[in-house]
Chains A and B, each alone.
Chain A
Amino acid sequence: MKFSETYIGGILFASASLLTGLRTTLKEFFTPKVTEQYPENRATLKISERHRAMLYMPLDENGNNKCIACGLCQSACPNSTIIVKTKNIVDEESGKSKKVLDEYIYDLGSCMFCQLCVNACPKDAIAFNNQFENAVFDRKKLVIRLNK
């Protein structure tokens, strides 16, 4: 019979294991804490650039988006989060009818951030940003129009 299996030995071994645990937590008691204080640290908070929090349309220097209303993002989307509404306008110079973007509607509340739309876009007209502060009181506020 090992000493640790005897009555006294058992007590001693058990106490030793408990004391080791106590020592460990005591050490942590005095180490600096790791908590990051959001929202106090909002100004300094760094989030990875690749983080996906919300879809947006980057604008070029003239303030226009690059969307050509091809609808590839809409068809790539697994759960119809994106709806691209188009309209036909007549080009004044050539007189031809052209399909352009009317409304780019994005439902933040059902997006699964799979990046398929961004991958599908031929013009890099959409991208994800890391602005994560999106909680709202009304479900309808999550359906947003990305273009102006």
Chain B
Amino acid sequence: MYNFEIITSAIDHFLHSVMPAQLAVITECVLIAVCTLVAYVAFAIVMIFMERKVCAAFQCRLGPTRVGFWGLLQVFADVFKMLIKEIISINNSDSLLYRLAPYLVVLSSILTFSCLPFDKGLQVLDFNVGVFFLMAASSFGVLGILLAGWSSNNKFSMIGAMRSGAQMISYELSIGLCMLTMVVLSGTMQISEIVEQQVDGWFIFKGHLPAVVAFIIYLIAGNAETNRAPFDLPEAESELTAGYHTEYSGMHFGFFYVAEFMNLFIVAGIASTLFLGGWTPLYIKGFDSFNAIMDYIPGIVWFLGKTFFLIWVLMWFRWTFPRLRVDHVPTLEWKYMVPIGLVNLLIMTICVVMNWIF
């Protein structure tokens, strides 16, 4: 078993030995911030490239091939261009909020990103109400979107923002219910603890039926949270041109773009943490040699493998389905997903109380 705590505590000891305690803490903070941001950007680039290739494959085409080998440098080209693209300021817009909005969206997703347990001990934020914090942090992304729509002084943006407000706030409920279901199963809200409990079996197997239902609902609601098709109403290209970010150009738009992809990563990451065991390897009872081989694969590979598989599934959804209509989105949520989620929570509770779990 790999354990990153050894490395992190080694760094911690080293810093404390060479500098005063307060300075050491500050240095650690800076180090962690840099690492998080770098990881965030790196994953965003990988995700964008993956999206373009996967989408192309679903559509019988090739996707980027000409920039770099196999198109690998495509996203870097986009990033360079985006960085030096003019940022237009809009007349009659609420200037402060207009500029604040993209940062809020990115901040929200970075905060959530830092809750993800990449490996044992490789987690930035971990405390006893981790799941609770996760939900709180992810839910203020909607504020950024609302502000973007409101402050742009554009009617399309406004409609897009209102749509996203209605959509994201209602789907938060489903996500909450699904997470609650898993919290009932695990009995803790600390994310590292939740993963630890899955060493002897992933929750999706332990929790059987209610866990599977929660998993499916979570994927649907998570897709809606990230504003991706079939739930991309806030930006609905064919209806609202570009929705809430119609007026944003240059890197401001880039922030929205990156945040959208990273939210997808986060949704998939949380799903793999809560349901598929995070960094824990796959064990099959009775196959000891198989389990031993699985142990050799580092936890971070397990985590990323699961996450990227889920991302692929979500992309598969995105590139298959048409967009829902604005009144079908709440219908799906309030008529189907919330009642099912509530019943599911009840069933899970019963299962846990009666000890009908594996």
Contacts and interface: CB of A to CB of B under 8 A. Distances in A.
Contacts of A35: 60-62
B291 interface: no
A28 interface: yes
A148 interface: no
Interface in A10-46: 11, 18, 21-22, 24-26, 28-29, 31, 33-35, 37
Contacts of B62: 33, 35, 37
Interface residues of B, number: 14
A29 B58 CA distance: 5
Interface in B21-65: 56-62, 65
A37 B70 CA distance: 13
B66 to A, nearest CB: 9
B60 A31 contact: yes
A34 B319 CA distance: 18
Contacts of B59: 28
A37 B61 contact: no
Interface residues of A, number: 14
B60 A33 contact: yes
B321 A34 contact: no
Interface string B53-83: 0001111111001000000000000000000
A21 B321 contact: yes
Contact of B336 (A11, A18, A37): A11
B37 to A, nearest CB: 33
B241 interface: no
Contacts of B321: 18, 21
Contacts of B58: 25, 28-29
B127 interface: no
Nearest to B65: A37
Contacts of B65: 37
Contacts of A22: 316-317, 320
Contacts of A34: 60-61
A53 B17 CA distance: 76
Q: Which of A11, A18, A21, A33 has the most CB of B within 10 A?
A: A33
Contact of A26 (B60, B316, B336): B316
A25 B59 CA distance: 8
Contacts of A21: 320-321
A75 B321 CA distance: 54
A21 B316 CA distance: 10
A99 B65 CA distance: 56
Interface of A: 11, 18, 21-22, 24-26, 28-29, 31, 33-35, 37
Interface of B: 56-62, 65, 316-317, 319-321, 336
Given A11-B336, A28-B58, 11 more contacts: A21-B320, A25-B58, A25-B320, A28-B59, A29-B58, A31-B60, A33-B56, A33-B60, A34-B60, A34-B61, A35-B61
